[in-house]
Structure 1
Amino acid sequence: MRPVPTKDGRPTLATVAAAAGVSVATVSKVLNGRSDVAPATRGLVQELLEQFDYAGRPADAVRRAVPATRPTVELVYAGELNAYSTEVLQGLLDAGQEMDVAVVVSMRRHGQRRSGSGRPSAWASELAAAGRRAVITVVDELTSSDLTALSRAGLPLVVIDPVNLPHVDVTSVGSTNFTGGLSATQHLLDLGHRRIAYLGGPATSACNQARMHGYRAAMDAAGLPVLPEYVRYGGFLHEDGLVQGGVLLDLPERPTAVFAGSDETAVGVLEAARARGLRIPDDLSVVGFDDTELARLSSPALTTVRQPLQEMGKVAMRTAMRLAADEEVESHHVELATELVVRQSTAPAPAVLRAHLASSGG
């Protein structure tokens, strides 16, 4: 049974209630997350809300129903907190404190259903009913259904380092990933490396593609081929660096340098190299990306491309609150500048170093 729509085409609470055999008040309690509803009844109502694709009340009505408190933003992480996301979180919290905005953190793994009610429309309605003013996601895989549901619920969205951009109007905050990839690879080229590998994140990730294109551009400008076996993908995690880095280092002609798409991946490469008796940076140079605390604490300290992660969090918060206030933003996509930070994990290529020692009588 489909609900009888309103004049604007949306299903009504009354028809959802009729289909469930409960009162309109009970459906309203489920939508507003009230606890005084029996689990079986709640499950039935949520199932029907999903079936009817009920998007909830208009955002203004929802906000009027919520007591006046500090504005609240929902921060959604795709996966577990790590060094990268902790830096972003610090920036968001700092900006929230400055603006007197509360931050609620939720997490989900890629592909996981967003809530007990499952469908994007129910997820967005629950956030709106709970009084959220905006949603910020970090490295999340968004679908068109997600965007539609958030829009219908009147919740502006800001994405930090988007995995994909399913719509041109998605507001996002990132960094100059292409320039970062270019500068990391150029640094290795300047040290005399010619066999340079790239170990990135998910192949479809927007930030990963930009970093890889920067790597390829530097190699092309130097007139060097990019060997297919020298380009590997993972998930920006330590385990990816350990496993995929091991694959690179076990090649018959292994690379003399690896540009990794994250600090966490780069540290995994360092471990894979040590397990094979390679010295860093004498036998292998490694460059990371992010400049998290992990880069500064690794041994040796990691040469990396610095993303202004805390500033990215602050910009995302300010942008989200401007959108929540129906203010115009200058750009739907903001890119903050990256910077190469040279530490102890990179050195001249082994052949260059041997030639230098021979010429100096070392």
Structure 2
Amino acid sequence: MATVDRSPTEGSGKSVPAGARRTTLAAVAHLAGVSIATVSKVVNGRSDVAPETRSRVQELLRRHDYVAPVDRRTEAAARPTVEVQFAGDLKPYVAEALGGIVDAATELGVSVAISQPARGPRWARDLVSMGRRALIAVTSVYTPAYLDALMQAGLPLVVLDPLHLPHSEVNSVGPTNFAGGFAATQHLLGLGHRRIAYLGGPAIAAANQARVHGYRAAMEARGTPVPDAYIRSGEFTFQTGVLGAAVLLDLPSPPTAVFAGNDEIALGVVETARTRGLRVPQDLSVVGFDDTLLARVASPPLTTVRQPLREMGGVALRTALRLADGEKLESHHVELATELVVRASTAPV
């Protein structure tokens, strides 16, 4: 914003008081030789100001780039703000989901504030006092204390891809994990693989459980036995893929294909195969889950199950706004369809 501590205004015979840092009503009133109330009337379009005085004040307002201060309360009411929290690093999965939230917010004229999960006894009330209308938690493990704090503050919650089974009181948005796991395994079975292993994330994670169930259902439907050693859990990380693949490939009857719980794990599997001189997909087929940027730039590009991450983010934002407006939802949990994307990391056995 332009300042007014400069040379005297031409024709006014006065200058802005020394030390002024920005254009204020008082500064313009001083230059115009009128009261602050008169300048305020001109700014607000009141009619009870003499035409000559109005013209003089308007010219000074224009000349000194006066901008009316923003009423933050009015601005917050006109442009609601939704808080988005995620824990840990900003991984490609989280980044794409956040992109969907931001895209929807831009379309709807909503502000988004992104943060790590807060701590302290008043964290939820503090969000309300800052004007937040709702909270979206990305892959959050919510606790009874967490839910209680939000309930007491009256702040609606939407969990995007919850890590454990949705609570009946928690609104959530996720993908069709079971269907995705089923499709990935069916694809490998269709290529002739029978020794197919699953290497996933935390055993307690709802998404991981659903993907395992989809994998098992496809194997059982084909009448293919699943050795206990073929199912391993870890974290949704590259390192889990590296270490888990080493264990699987050391088995007396190692798998010819691995269905990984996400793209990061899949890339870890590919890396372990590479260090052992195995070729993907000629010697080992690998399927991921998510279809993040990692899958598309991998070498070879990953066959993976696409989660509609950006669409999920948009649905989460719209759901949060509906809750903030007091609407009653048709369902506490919404699932968006997954889709198998076949690339170069899978081949016939």
Q: Same fold (TM over 0.5)?
A: yes
Name the structure 1 match of 2:293.
293
Are 1:88 and 2:97 matched, yes or no?
yes
> In structure 1, what is the equivalent of residue 212 of structure 2?
212
2:283 is matched by which residue type in structure 1? D
Question: Structure 1 residues 295-304 or 232-241, which shifts more?
Answer: 232-241
Shift of 1:329: 1.8
Q: Tell me, what secondary structure is at the counterpart of 1:234?
A: coil
Q: CA deviation at 1:147?
A: 0.9
SS class of match (2:334):
strand
Equivalent position amino acid for 1:266 in 2: A
Matched, 1:186 2:186: yes
Quote the offset at 1:210 in angstroms: 0.6
Q: What's 1:60 paired with?
A: none
Cα drift, residue 168 of structure 1: 0.8
Q: CA deviation at 1:66?
A: 5.2
Amino acid at match of 2:347: A
Aligned counterpart, 1:42: none
Which SS does the other structure have where 1:197 is aligned? strand
Question: Which residue number in structure 1 is paired with residue 283 of structure 2?
Answer: 283
Counterpart of 1:128 in structure 2 is 128
Q: Deviations over 1:205-263 (max 9, x none)?
A: 11111111000001111111211111111111111111112211222221100000101
Residue 311 of structure 2 aligns to a residue whose secondary structure is helix
SS in 1 for 2:137: strand
- 8 A Cα contact 2:198 2:215, kept in partner: yes
- Structure 2 vs 1, CA of residues 165 and 222 (structure 1 numbering), >3 Å: closer, same or farther? closer
Q: 1:201 corresponds to which residue?
A: 201
For 2:337 and 2:115, locate their aligned partners in 1 and report how far apart those are by CA, in whole Å: 28
Contact 1:134 1:321 in 2 (8 A): yes
Q: 1: distance between equivalents of 2:114 and 2:227?
A: 42
Structure 1 position 106, deviation (Å) = 1.2
Residues in 2 aligned to 1:251 and 1:296: alpha-carbon distance in whole angstroms:
30
Cα separation, 1, equivalents of 2:181 and 2:294 = 19
Q: 2:116 aligns to what SS in structure 1?
A: strand
> Quick one: which of 84, 108, 112 aligns to 1:103?
112
One-letter amino acid matched to 1:264: E
For residues 131 and 275 of structure 1, the distance between their equivalents in structure 2, rounded to whole angstroms, comes to: 53
Q: What amino acid is the match of 2:126?
A: E
Q: Match for residue 253 of structure 2? A: 253
Shifted more, 181-190 versus 229-238: the winner is 229-238
Q: Which residue of 2 aligns with 1:331?
A: 331
Opposite residue 268 of structure 1, the aligned amino acid is G
Deviation at 1:68, TM superposition (A): 4.1
Residue among 61, 76, 87 paired with 1:78: 87
CA root-mean-square deviation: 1.3
Partner Cα distance (2:331, 2:195) in 1: 39
Q: Residue 322 of structure 1: SS of its match in structure 2? A: helix
Task: Work out the CA distance in 1 between the residues paired with 2:110 and 2:165.
Answer: 27
- CA deviations 1:247-294 (Å, max 9, x no partner) are 112222211000001011111110011011110001000000011111
Aligned-residue identity in percent: 62
Deviation, 1:107, is 2.1
Task: Please give the alpha-carbon distance, in whole angstroms, between the structure 2 residues aligned to 1:298 and 1:128.
Answer: 43
- How far did 1:67 drift? 5.5
Q: CA–CA distance in 1 between the matches of 2:344 and 2:173?
A: 30
Q: Distance in 2 between matches of 1:167 and 1:311?
A: 22
Q: Is the 8 A contact 1:144 1:166 kept in 2?
A: no
TM-score, normalisation: structure 2? 0.77
Question: Which residue pairs with 1:353 in the alignment?
Answer: none
Q: How much does 1:313 deviate? A: 0.2
Equivalent residue letter for 1:84: Y
Residue 308 of structure 1: aligned partner = 308
- Structure 1: 5+ residue runs without aligned partners? 1-64, 109-113, 350-362
Q: 1:238–1:264: 8 Å Cα contact kept in structure 2?
A: yes
Q: Matched residue pairs, number? A: 276
- Report the alpha carbon displacement of residue 165 of structure 1 after superposing the two structures with TM: 3.8
SS in 1 for 2:86: strand
Write out aligned runs for 1:239-250 (5 A).
Answer: 239-250=239-250
Which runs of 5 or more residues in structure 2 are unaligned? 1-71
Say if 1:156 and 1:324, in contact at 8 Å, map to a contact too.
Answer: yes
Taking the aligned partners of 1:137 and 1:234, their CA distance within structure 2 comes to: 22
Larger Rg: 2
Q: Is contact 1:179–1:214 with CA below 8 Å preserved after alignment?
A: yes
Distance 2:165 2:186 in 1: 28
Partner of 2:45: none
